Amino acid sequence: MGFFIEIFWALLMVGVPVGIFTLALFWWALQGGHFNESSDSNALRREIKAMSGRKKKKKNKDKKEEDRKLHPLQKQWARFGGGFYGIVAFFTYIVVEAREIITTISNFGGFIDFLKQLNFDVIIQMFVQALMNFITAMVWPFYWMKRIETGQVWIWFLMAYAGYWAGLKLAQVLVKHRSQSLT
Helix (H, G, I), strand (E, B) or coil at 150: coil
Q: What is the pLDDT of residues 135-146, one digit of tens each?
A: 999 998 898 888
CA angle 39, 80, 132 (to 5 degrees): 160
Q: What is the pLDDT of residues 15-61, one digit of tens each?
A: 999 999 999 888 888 887 766 655 666 666 666 666 655 544 454 55
Mean pLDDT over 3-26 rounds to 90
Least Cα distance to 45 among 18, 15, 82, 76 occurs for: 82
Q: What is the pLDDT of residues 108-124, one digit of tens each?
A: 888 888 888 888 888 89
Output the pTM of the full model. 0.73
